[in-house]
Structures are given as C-alpha cells and as structure tokens.
Amino acid sequence: MTLPHDDTLTHTLEHLRIRPSSLTSQDGITFGLDESAPGQRRLAVIAASDAPSDAPILGGFEGETQTIHGRAVLRGPLSAHNAAALRRQLAWLNPTTLGLATSVGFGDRLGLATPGHLEAVRAVGGHIAPILSQQSIREMTRTSRSPQMVMDDAMWGVFGEGWRSGFGADADHLKTPDDIDRCLAAGYTFYTFDPGEHVENAADTMRDDGLRAAFAALPWDALADTEDALAARYLSASWEFEGHVIAFDRERLLRAAVKYGRAIAYVTRMYRHLATVGAGRPWEVEVSVDETETPTTHVEHVYFATELRRLGVQWVSLAPRYIGHFEKGVEYIGDLDAFTADFATHAAIARALGPYKLSLHSGSDKFSVYAIAARETQGAVHLKTAGTSYLEALRTVGQLAPDLLRDIYAFACDHYETDRASYHVSARLDRAPAPVALTDATTATLLDQFDARQILHVTFGSVLTYATPDGDKPFYDQLMTLLRTHPDAYTANLKAHFVRHLRPFVEYSHD
C-alpha cells in the first residue's frame, strides 16, 4: 500500500523496523508490525502527531507510547486486545464468507503458518480463496488453544503480509451448540458440522429384520417425516444427473435412511441453532461425513442432500466419505480410475441439488487427486488441509536443528499407539525408521517416509503439550523459538509445499 508522503512519518519509520508489507494508513493513523527485536514482533500504531486529538485511537490499544519525530507511537503486544482493536480499525482483517469460490483451508496448529500460506496463494496468481483460521475443536483441545487464539494468530499473519483480498475462518468439525457459540463469539464465518457420531455405519450390513427395526426407530419427529411419506417420495421417482441415473428401491432407501437419518436430524438441529444465535452476522455452513467407516454411495448422497434441503438447511460445501482412503498427511490410497468415476457422479449430484462445493477433507498431500477433483467439480471444490503445515514446521526443524527433530520423533513413536486412536491412519512402528538409528542425513528425509510422517502427524498434541514436572514445555518452546527466529525458512518450506497443492486447482478456479 502506498503511504501518504510525509517527512515526519518517513523519519519516524526510519527510527522503527516495520515489516514493509504490513504498513497501512487510515484516517491519518499508520499501522505496522515492528520487528525491531529478533524473533519478537509488536504492533506499532503511529499517530499523525503527538497532539491530544490523536489520543482516542491510541487509547484503544495496549502498549507503551513515546514521541518519535513529533509523532505519538504506540508499540504493544500481539495480544487478543490489540487484535480486536485493530480489526475495528481495518475492516479487511475480519474474515468473510467465500460462497462457491474455489477455496482451500489452511490449518495451522502453531499459529505461525499464515505468511507461508499466503505466499503460496500469491505464487499461483491469487486465484484460490483462502481459509486461514481453521482448527477443529479436537485439535484446539490437544494444542491448548482457543477459537479466539486461532483467529488472532491468522489475523496477525494477514496483517503482516498486507493481504487485502479476503479470507475465511473455519470453525472445523463442530459437534455441539456450545462449539458454535464459542466460535461465533470469535468471529468465525465458515461452520463445519460433523455428524459422524450419528452415522450408523452398520447400516450397510444389517440383516432385514434389524434394518427394518432401525428404520422404524429413526427420530421421525425431528425429521418432520413419516415412514410412509419418505417411501412415497423416493420409491416413486428416479433421478438423472448429467447422464448418471440414481434409482431407489426399498432396501437402498432403508439403508440410506438408517445410515444417515440421525445425522440429518443432528445437522438440522445445529443449523437452526446457528441461524438463531448468528442472526444478522455473515456465516456459511459445510457438512462433513468424511470421518466414517464406509463410503457415501451416490444413492446416500442424494438422500442426504435432498433431506437436508427439505428441512431448510443451506450449505456451501459437503464432504462425503469417498471411496479409497484419505489418510492423514499422505497420498491418496486407492484406485484412481475408480475414484474418478465415483467422484464425477458426486460432482454431478452437487451441481444439480445445490450447487454446492465438494470438500476434500484430510486433503493435504493427495497430489494425485487434485486435478481430478478440480476438473470434475468445474472448480466448485474446497480442499481442507491441517497437519501438513505442522509437518513442514518439523521439516524446518530438521534442516536447522536435527537433534531436536530426532528427540521429537522418538517421543512421537512412544505415543503413537495411543494418539492414533481417533485418526484413520495405517502407519506402523515396525516399518518406521528407528529413532536410535537416525543420522543427520536420514533425519532430513524423515518427513518423506510414509510411516514416520503419519506418526509425527497424529502425535502433534502430545508433542506440543508435553511438560516436565516443573512445568516447562521443552518441545513446544524450542520449536516455537526456532520458527520465530527463522521465519523465512518456515515460510519458504510452506510456500513450496502448498504451491504443489494449489496449482492443479487454478485452471478451474472461479470466484
């Protein structure tokens, strides 16, 4: 941004060390990130003068004020208070809704990755709408963070990079109304409902008697429906989606309803709560059933989307459980030809019944499917990544301090069998490199080995929260100090990694 020419401002800025991309002025007040202290950033607010009339704006921030070349300058911490005050001054620091724009969610477990994420978006021409505040409640719990902390960390990154093209904030994998309330209070704009606990995976294999009993026991009042009415809607019709014919018979309908009926009731309840407490505020919804045991068939997709729409739920993105395996931090596992054919039908359904985006959850490092997903959805797609940015932090550690990465890896191996319980992963300790056998050279390639990568991926919570009896957090403290002292190294690794993710989507991207 071009700042107004002013000799006193020039002299004041010469006295400070402001990150150039962060400089912005509004109503005579200049804002920027002060990087005078290595590894420690502060907010700088520079008034037009040191006159009392400038005091009200400076008074909204916390920090120390001094006069430099005739201007009042406040320098304060990157605190929640200052984040809120800065958002009130600079509207572009508030997240927005993204609608059907081709989008990518960048999870950030450490709160330092936003510069690298934005560098990658810029490197591909800025054609991808970024979601920069994204962390599930499960991950927040494991990293001892709050929705507000996640929001503020991303916002400081947006401010520091001078990103004014908009960004989203994903309240990810929400399971309770209280989760909604906490994230709404922090200003999130994208709400991912996770009804996985309400999906009946056994529906696929139930015998007739059990299937009929489970069907009769569905929460019909919550679904505003009856058994007969449901049968009448589906058994008397068939659907065609761009040449893909979807037909229900009684067994298919019962299995779809038993599998997803309670999940539909749950999503409806969550949606209505959000619509009530979020009235008058910008928000949009994603629905995710990806973390379930069995794939979402095309019949089930039609049933799920049609019933949600009948109940008044509106959403911009849906994450079915696709065929094959989307495991954490590694390539897609499965037959790509079969995936392409299956995904193409899901995309046709989404266009006809929405339109809405199809979402790729656990989507990081699935390089073989990105071009397929972009092409078949015609750009109406959302890619969600999470732990891969943490893994790039560990890669950076391996480059700068291999001893630290070896210690983290040995600790991760000890905790893997416990921490893997809530994830779909197939890494095995007996196939992973032995910690005691690692050299500096092999440590540098640890993030490229399938089993080691997943072991490090799912143990992040144990690593980041590990504390000694006297309360020290050695892994977290050393990791954060290293990354804050060498931010350019982390940013470069993130940029290189995410450019590979984003490029396949650019050809089909749209606003």
What is the 3-class SS of 370-434, one letter each residue?
A: HHHHHHHHCCCEEEEECHHHHHHHHHHHHHHCHHHHHHHHHHHHHHHHHHHHHCCCCCCHHHCCC
Is 174 within a domain? yes
Residue 212 in any domain: the answer is: no
**81 and 100 share one domain:** no
Contact between residue 337 and residue 308 where contact means Cβ atoms under 8 Å apart: no
pLDDT at 39: 78
- Are residues 454 and 316 part of one domain? no
| Element containing residue 251 per DSSP (H, E) | helix 250-277
- pLDDT at residue 118, as a whole number: 98
**Assigned domain for 126 exists:** yes
Both 381 and 416 in one domain: the answer is no
Which member of 172, 194, 307, 327 is catalytic?
172
pLDDT for the residue numbered 53: 62
How far apart CA 282 and CA 9 sit, in angstroms, is 37
Question: Among 62, 89, 116, where does a domain finish?
Answer: 89
Sheet with 71-76, edge to edge strand ranges? 24-26, 29-37, 40-46, 71-76, 64-68
Residue 321 φ then ψ, to 5°: -90, 110
Phi, psi of 346 (to 5 degrees): -60, -40
Phi, psi angles (nearest 5°) of residue 200? -95, 90
Q: How many CA atoms lie within 13 A of 303 on its CB side?
A: 27
Same domain as 275, residue 264: yes
Query: Which residue, among 23, 315, 318, 48, has the nearest Cα to 161 in the 3D structure?
Result: 23
Which stretches of 122-184 are assigned E, i.e. beta strand? Answer: 129-136, 168-174
DSSP state of 188: -
Contacts of 286 (CB under 8 A, 6+ apart): 170, 190, 191, 192, 193, 315, 316, 317, 318, 319, 359, 382
CA gap 197, 262 in Å, rounded: 9
The closest of 87, 98, 183 to 135, measured between CA atoms, is: 183
In this structure, is residue 218 part of a structural domain? no
The CA–CA distances, whole Å, from 236 to 201, 205, 246 equal 26, 25, 12
**Which are the contacts of 69, defined by CB distance < 8 A and separation ≥ 6?**
8, 11, 12, 15
Name 363's Cβ contacts closer than 8 Å, sequence gap at least 6.
Answer: 326, 383, 384, 385
Residue-wise pLDDT tens digits, 283-323: 999 999 998 899 999 999 999 999 999 999 999 999 999 99
Helix (H, G, I), strand (E, B) or coil at 128: coil
- CATH assignment at residue 189: 3.20.20.70
Distance CA(71)–CA(208), nearest Å, equals 79
User: What is the C-alpha separation between 412 and 392, in angstroms, rounded?
Assistant: 16
- Cβ(182)–Cβ(278) under 8 Å? no
| Domain identity same for 438 and 384 | no
In terms of domains, do 291 and 176 share one? yes
Which pLDDT score, from 0 to 100, does residue 505 have?
A: 97
- How does DSSP classify residue 221? T
Question: Residue 83: what residue type?
Answer: A
Residue tagged active-site, from 54, 108, 286, 291: 286
Provide the domain limits for residue 362: 93-202+259-388+497-506
Identify the pLDDT of residue 15. 85
Q: Is 146 helix (H, G, I), strand (E, B) or coil?
A: coil
446 belongs to a structural domain: yes
Tell whether 358 and 429 lie within a shared domain. no
Which pair of tokens denotes residue 200? 């009946």
Q: What is the pLDDT of residue 10?
A: 84
Query: What is the distance between the alpha carbons of residues 506 and 359, in angstroms, rounded to a whole number?
Result: 16
Tell me how far apart the alpha carbons of residues 143 and 476 are, in angstroms, rounded to a whole number.
Answer: 10
Q: Are residues 357 and 414 in the same domain?
A: no
- Are both 421 and 441 inside the same structural domain? yes
Q: Is 254 among the domain residues? A: no
Tens of pLDDT along the chain (511 residues) come to 555 556 678 888 888 999 999 999 998 899 999 998 877 899 999 998 877 666 678 889 999 999 998 899 999 999 999 999 999 999 999 999 999 999 999 999 999 999 999 999 999 998 899 999 999 999 999 899 999 999 999 999 999 999 999 999 999 999 999 999 999 999 999 999 999 999 999 999 999 999 999 999 999 999 999 999 999 999 988 899 999 999 999 999 999 999 999 999 999 999 999 999 999 999 999 999 998 899 999 999 999 999 999 999 999 999 999 999 999 999 999 999 999 999 999 999 999 999 999 999 999 999 999 999 999 999 999 999 999 999 999 999 999 999 999 999 999 999 999 999 988 899 999 999 999 999 999 998 999 999 999 999 999 999 999 999 999 999 999 999 999 999 999 999 999 999 999 999 999 998 7
Final residue before a domain boundary, out of 89, 117, 142: 89
Residues 348 and 381 in one domain: yes
Domain match, 380 and 409 both: no
In a domain, 374, yes or no: yes
Separation CA 155–CA 300 (nearest Å): 39
Domain boundary among 33, 68, 89: 89
Catalytic residue status for 172: yes
Structure tokens at 502: 């984003």
Q: Are residues 411 and 448 in the same domain?
A: yes
Split into its structural domains, the chain has a count of 3
Q: Does any domain span residue 241? A: no
